[in-house]
Structure 1
Amino acid sequence: MITLASAVAPPVLLNSVQLASPVRVGQSLYWEVVGRHWYVCQRDTTTGDQERILVTRFTENGETVDSMHVERAGHGANIGVERTGDAVFLWTDAMPKGHWASALARIPYVPGGTVDASKADEPSSRITFHRPRPSESVYRVSATIDPTRRELVYRWQSNDDPSHEGVGGIDRYALDAVVAGTYTPLATLPFTASGRTLQGYTSLGDHVYTLYGVPKEESRVTCTRWDTGEVVQDVPLTAFPSLSNREPEGLCVYERDGAPATLAFGIASGSVGAHRYHVGRFPHPETNPWVPVALDPAQYEPSSSSYVPQYRIHGDQVHLHFSIDRVDRESLWPSTAKLFRLPMPARPNRTQRLVGVVSGTYVTGQPLTVRMEVTADGWVTLYDDRGLKGWIGADVSFWTC
């Protein structure tokens, strides 16, 4: 179970990214770990088509890769992304009743593509439709995927009312069985009217997590047990408090580098024509494995096999361990030398000072310490004007990510 409350601010994964359309806010998000891409869904309404959604794909650093339109789909309240081999599929709204879906669509992601999620005669190579429950008995359906179990998570209402008055359930299905057209729920978690506006949900292991809130007001996130329906956590989500028109939008599973999975959440901000999207994550639940970091082999090499640069995440601390030397050992270390770059999950929210150690060569009578910094873009950088020679290391350096 992920701990939703934390004594520290949730780490930032994306900050103020521009979606493919600046007119509407982001509605939902999904992190696809193999490709290391974010998929963010927004409504992209037009006069003649009020149910079009637009999915933007970003790199892990928030750089736009491409986007895809899904016409006559629904609200885009949730989204799932399935990777099967080299292929990537979107699970989106389909067959809308009003502005909300009555079925699901599985769509191959095609950069720059457009597909109609209400055309039942589309070839299966472009789209397949799925109705885990008969369309005439459910309303406002949506779905996501728990990648840790490869399960489709399907939310439905038995009444056609806004989510704060919604009554219905959330089902779990084996994803590959649904793809094959078999809809046998592994579990169903019923819900009644909560009085809260739904802004996203996901499943991770034995628990369902749900995000609620409206613009400029308190947002909350809950954790519910699949087996008993017991709400075991219900806490405010206060991340990104200074944003204008702040609105919670989207919740998904987030995992990286073999570390235990946690959750990421989206926050929309700004006004029409200038909307931005922000993503944070909840703290990692435990100490994660050490992860090696690559050096530039033309410039640097580890001083021994025990000192290959590596980091690990412990709660919301990042621990750093390394000792490296210059390949050209006759050259002096220049101040502001960039040593190596850390990946996104290990980067600090702002520049952090680090204290390291040096081999002692050319520093006789001076402290055997060296000053370094790690910047918000991940570069571990040396700052020392003494003309050092020999290895440079950091055994106990850490910061809060």
Structure 2
Amino acid sequence: MSTGTTASARPVAGRLSFLDRFLAVWILAAMAAGLGLGRLVPGLGDALARVTVTGVSLPIALGLLVMMYPVLAKVRYDRLDTVTRDRRLLIPSLVLNWIVGPALMFALAWLFLPDLPEYRTGLIIVGLARCIAMVIIWNDLACGDREAAAVLVALNSVFQVIAFSALGWFYLSVLPGRLGLEQTTLNVSVWEITRSVLIFLGIPLLGGFLTRRIGEKAKGRTWYETQLIPRIGPFALYGLLFTIVVLFALQGDAITSRPLDVARIALPLLVYFALMWAGSMAAGRAVGLGHPKATTLAFTAAGNNFELAIAVAIATFGATSGQALAGVVGPLIEVPVLIGLVYVALAARRFFPQPAPPAETVAAPEGSARV
């Protein structure tokens, strides 16, 4: 996508594919379908629980893996070194993603949900699950730096496998006790959380890496990104919608009987997105990043990996838990909010130094240099 005036002049929705343009509609439809199935098929929960993978029903596990794989196949794993050399981008990204983001969600969860421990825990898990490849869509629409976004997403994906479990233990067990707050009782070991992360992130991460490596080696990067990726990309949405249908079929009673609880989950998420995005954009401007990289910093810091959060919540607390419901509400809030922030990012270009226009060749006297 061009990063010039033409791209920003076109309506944002017009630059989305048909599936992405109506993503919020599909998610709402999936929720409604799940609620309907839950009422029409009373024994659905028992049927889904008969076969499990690391504590997750097989249909849900398959849906989670399917939604994770395509977005991780989009990442350019061979470009990690381009970001590690740019300390103005790398250091703020690491700080915002792995220190500020989890801490902010922890604070908001306790501020807005002090009396709802299951939802509070679910939001904290969401805060620990940093962005993956889906955020590249919003970054691209906002004229961010595409390569930097792909590299930061790859870095977050790898770091998430290493750090997620330790951060979960710290924010759910250690920090609340140190602050005199109610601690979450985890009936699983750190290894069990790690196992869930390795299965639901590690497997699709490995699959995405191998797919890109084999595909590019066989037919080249152009074919891979223009032919293969468009074919497998929509399966991320299919997996997400399938998972939401099943989850809402199991969550039907909680949603219909406690709609105010759902609204209370949405409120801290809205505050989180606004603060993280605006703060990250300001931080990028302060350290001297141009608009494209500052935009990339903002979207990769504000976005969350709800797929991973849902997977961990289900595996740890169960598909019908409040923690899982908090993760399910996430995509419905994130999609319209980040689409709105695309417009804000485009308007914010006026606050960044504009790059100098390329030098043009002009006529010069015979025998003199041309500039």
* Same fold, TM-score > 0.5, yes or no: no
Q: TM-score, normalised by structure 2?
A: 0.22
More helix by share: 2
Q: TM-score, normalised by structure 1?
A: 0.21
More strand by share: 1
Asked which structure has the greater RCO (Cα within 8 Å, sep 6+), the reply is 2
